[in-house]
Amino acid sequence: MDWQREDLKYIWHPCSQMKDYETLLPIVIERGEGINLYDTNGKCYKDVISSWWCNLLGHCNPRINQAVKKQIDTLEHVIFANFSHKTVIRLCQELIKVLPKGLCKFNFADNGSSAIEMALKMSFQYHYQTGNTQKKKFMALTDAYHGETLAALAVGGVDLYSELYKPIMMDVLRVEAPDCFRCPLGKCRENCSCECFVKAEEMFAKYADETSAIIVEPLLQGSAGMKIYPPIYLKKLRALCDKYNVHLIADEIATGYGRTGKMFAFDHAGVSPDIMCLSKGLTGGYMPMAIAVTTQKIYDAFYDDYLKGKAFMHSHTYAGNPLACSAALEVLKILDEENIIEKANKRAVYFNKIIKEKFLPHKNVGEVRSIGLINAIELVADKNTKEPLDYTMRTGYQIYQKALEKGVLLRPLGDVIYFNPPLIIEEDDMDYVTDIALQSLKDILG
């Protein structure tokens, strides 16, 4: 069977111009192990982007496999209104131990975008039910990414995904995000105390009264090209939100679960959001699941006699799915028992060092930035002016193709090449994938 041609007969792949598949056929994966994926011809690909950032502890992790197998023979799924099960309760008991202080009420969904929708609705309804019916707007950062359902897309600010749909989306108040690579205030990472936060202050001074919440990807704007900004921004934002009675929604879908070197990105700032969204990493990349977790205070604003009409009437069929919960519970156990994040942080120092050594000398590398095991290499036309490459050349895409030929799965964001590997990646694989990535870059840019 020609699996690749059969695939194209039926499947419309996500986030793809299907015409591109004429020259780059879909890669049909047969099995996975650790950071390795094997296609139907037995060719190995190193998955250093964690299969869209969700695989945390390697493919076919023996412990998670075992946990899911055990669950599947006990209970596969059950309605989650009025009904519950032990695995989800245990999961909440464990999660609450590692979440930022104050987050204690868990609402389940089955994908990240849905958790964002839930957070936005929850925030609006809280204000509505506590006498602030004028708070109908949301604030979000430029270049933000929060998923691709309509409200999630609306708070997002990456034109590539949202521009076309603007006529059918809600209006959002846009705060200029920190841009530490091309700082408009002429600062650099070493000498900055987040002077750009004044942009947020200005927006709050004007619009906070009508604003329900501000949503942010803490410390790392992933889809924008792995843009990294300092924790002090979150600290200042927390204070500003408190001053104006605006909720702070943390989209930790990509940053949670040790990706930034701590369990959650908010842990770097030592403050808590009012609502936190989790998904990628939550089940180790095994099963679709998401959570919007919030505070007792928000929860209480919905708690009343039924006929008062204050309930949160939001549901997803697969909310609290036991199979996903069994994977999620095992992930937390592994992180804890095997000291995964601590060990990953040690290897992250090595990873960043070799990436800087290998890539920084190249004439088209504008910056190497990193947080946790995430390392991004921003390609530019000119190192000094930081002028971007001509995007119509699709340089990142060409490098992606070259690296695939050589057995490394990179999938750059435009002209930003990045690594966001499973936390268990070892030094020899770091050596190998960075060599291949550099070779692929040189193949295209000389």
Ligand X SMILES: *Cc1c(COP(=O)(O)O)cnc(C)c1O
Any contact of residue 291 with ligand X (CB under 6 A)?
no
Any contact of residue 279 with ligand X (CB under 6 A)?
yes
The 322-361 contact track toward ligand X, x by CB under 6 A, reads: ----------------------------------------
The 102-131 contact track toward ligand X, x by CB under 6 A, reads: ---------xxx--x---------------
Query: Taking the complex as a whole, how short is the minimal distance between the CB of residue 227 and ligand X, in angstroms?
Result: 12
**Nearest CA among 270, 259, 290, 268 for reference residue 373:** 259
Which part of the chain contacts ligand X (CB under 6 A), choosing from 2-10, 23-31, 143-151, 362-370? 143-151
Task: Using CB atoms within 10 Å of the CB of residue 288, give its burial: 0 to 12 exposed, 13 to 18 middle, 19+ buried.
Answer: middle
Q: How far is CA 305 from the centre of its chain?
A: 37
Nearer to ligand X among residue 208 and residue 331 (C-beta): 331
Any contact of residue 58 with ligand X (CB under 6 A)?
no
Query: Taking the complex as a whole, how short is the minimal distance between the CB of residue 433 and ligand X, in angstroms?
Result: 21
Any contact of residue 217 with ligand X (CB under 6 A)?
yes
Query: Taking the complex as a whole, how short is the minimal distance between the CB of residue 400 and ligand X, in angstroms?
Result: 19
Angle at Cα 57 formed by Cα 51 and Cα 60, nearest 5°? Answer: 75
- Cα dist from 134 to 35, 140, 172, 309, whole Å: 49, 18, 15, 19
Angle at Cα 29 formed by Cα 27 and Cα 33, nearest 5°? Answer: 135
Query: Taking the complex as a whole, how short is the minimal distance between the CB of residue 290 and ligand X, in angstroms?
Result: 6
Quick one: CA torsion of 333, 335, 338, 343, rounded to 10 degrees? 180
Query: Taking the complex as a whole, how short is the minimal distance between the CB of residue 245 and ligand X, in angstroms?
Result: 25
d(CA 183, CA 179): 5
Number of residues engaging ligand X in binding (CB under 6 A): 14
Nearer to ligand X among residue 37 and residue 109 (C-beta): 109
Any contact of residue 378 with ligand X (CB under 6 A)?
no
Nearer to ligand X among residue 54 and residue 365 (C-beta): 54
The 145-184 contact track toward ligand X, x by CB under 6 A, reads: xxx-------------------------------------
SS3 labels along 124-187: HHHHHHCCCCCCCEEEEECCCCCCCCHHHHHHCCCHHHHHHHHHHCCCCEEECCCCCCCCCCCC
Query: Taking the complex as a whole, how short is the minimal distance between the CB of residue 446 and ligand X, in angstroms?
Result: 33
User: Among residues 196, 250, 254, 324, which is the contact residue for ligand X, using CB under 6 A?
Assistant: 254
Nearer to ligand X among residue 251 and residue 274 (C-beta): 251
Taking residue 361's Cβ as centre, other Cβ atoms within 10 Å add up to: 8
SS3 labels along 205-264: HHHHHHEEEEEECCCEECCCCCEECCCHHHHHHHHHHHHHCCEEEEECCCCCCCCCCCCC
Any contact of residue 253 with ligand X (CB under 6 A)?
yes
Any contact of residue 251 with ligand X (CB under 6 A)?
yes
Any contact of residue 143 with ligand X (CB under 6 A)?
no
Bridge partner list, 59? 34
Residue nearest to ligand X (CB): 112
Nearer to ligand X among residue 34 and residue 285 (C-beta): 285
Taking residue 128's Cβ as centre, other Cβ atoms within 10 Å add up to: 16
Nearer to ligand X among residue 109 and residue 365 (C-beta): 109
Crossing angle for the helix pair 322-337 and 86-98, to the nearest 10 degrees:
40
Any contact of residue 256 with ligand X (CB under 6 A)?
no
Query: Taking the complex as a whole, how short is the minimal distance between the CB of residue 305 and ligand X, in angstroms?
Result: 35
Are the C-beta atoms of 275 and 121 separated by less than 8 Å?
no
Nearer to ligand X among residue 147 and residue 284 (C-beta): 147
Contacts with ligand X by CB under 6 A lie at 111-113, 116, 145-147, 217, 222, 251, 253-254, 279-280
